[in-house]
Amino acid sequence: MDLQLTGRVALVTGASKGIGLAVVRTLLDEGARVAAVSRKSGADLDALAGPNLLHVPADLTDPAAPAEAVRRTVETFGGLDVLVNNAGGPPPGATLPRFGFLTPTDDDWRAMFEFNLFAVVRTVRAAIPHLLDADAGAIVNVSSGNGRRPGPMNYDYNAAKAAVNNLTKGLSEEYGPQGVRVNTVSPGPVRTAWWTDEGGAADVLAGATGADRDAILDGGAAEMMNLVTGRLVDPREVADVIALLASPRSASTTGAEVAVDGGFLKEV
């Protein structure tokens, strides 16, 4: 399938690893020009270097950073067609999962919302004027299945992602008639650095359950979360759906939430 992304300009946040890196790679493969936004680059992102890739170093918790990232993108590529708000998860210095409502402090809540919600709001605000000028503008916000499945851990993260879901619906209503589609992709647990890094989610769950971290990664986490596929999601599987939603081939899809979660969400 030709996704009709050749020559289109996309800005992807959280682009140096995990889902964001997979999205950058997929969009480049589809012929798009991509501004990859992250605090710093990395070997995997550097390996994609070429005329169609711009790395924009930015800390999106800085209120001025989203507008600067958009400005750099438009300055370099001449416009903006697609925005992928992928940056999210634990803010710098935080480790998830966190158990119990009383665990996160006010500062934890503020940091979580700055990274997972306010950075999205500011990036959309900066991008909208350029997306309105595009012939088929698209925004894809990366949320989480936890935005619709509350539970007694990660209260701050879950609430921030629920807010992203609500924001997406509102944006789709306002800007859909003006030619900008807005959709959400809600991954389940994805095998990224959040899980695999030392001290990450696999280690936290291993410590809480007495299991081996490798056993957690190779099936234990999937069993705990009742994933019907029996494994964590591959970042490329999420990236493929994001690319499809960003494509003009999805011209009648807006305000949707697409789960790529291994069967994590059971709700109808």
Question: Tokens 């402090």 identify what position?
Answer: 105
Mean pLDDT value across residues 195-217: 84
Domain with CATH 3.40.50.720 in the chain: 9-190+234-260
Bridge partners of 171, per DSSP, are none
Distance CA 195, CA 74 (A): 34
Q: Which residue type does 82 have? A: V
Q: Which two tokens stand for residue 134?
A: 């595009």
Bridge partners of 190, per DSSP, are 233
Annotation: CATH topology of 9-190+234-260: Rossmann fold (3.40.50)
Cis peptide before 97 (omega within 30 of 0): yes
SS3 of residue 120 by DSSP: helix
- What pLDDT does 217 receive? 86
Over 80: is that where the pLDDT of 194 sits? no
Over 80: is that where the pLDDT of 163 sits? yes
- What pLDDT does 46 receive? 98
Using one digit for the tens of pLDDT, what is the confidence trace for 212-228? 888 888 888 888 888 99
Over 80: is that where the pLDDT of 39 sits? yes
* Angstrom distances, CA of residue 189 to CA of 44, 89, 243, 249, 268: 21, 11, 19, 27, 20
175 tagged catalytic: no
Confidence of residue 211 (pLDDT cuts 50, 70, 90): confident
Catalytic pick from 157, 175, 194, 195? 157
- Residue 226, class by beta-carbon neighbours within 10 Å (0-12 exposed, 13-18 middle, 19+ buried)? exposed
Distance CA 14, CA 18 (A): 8
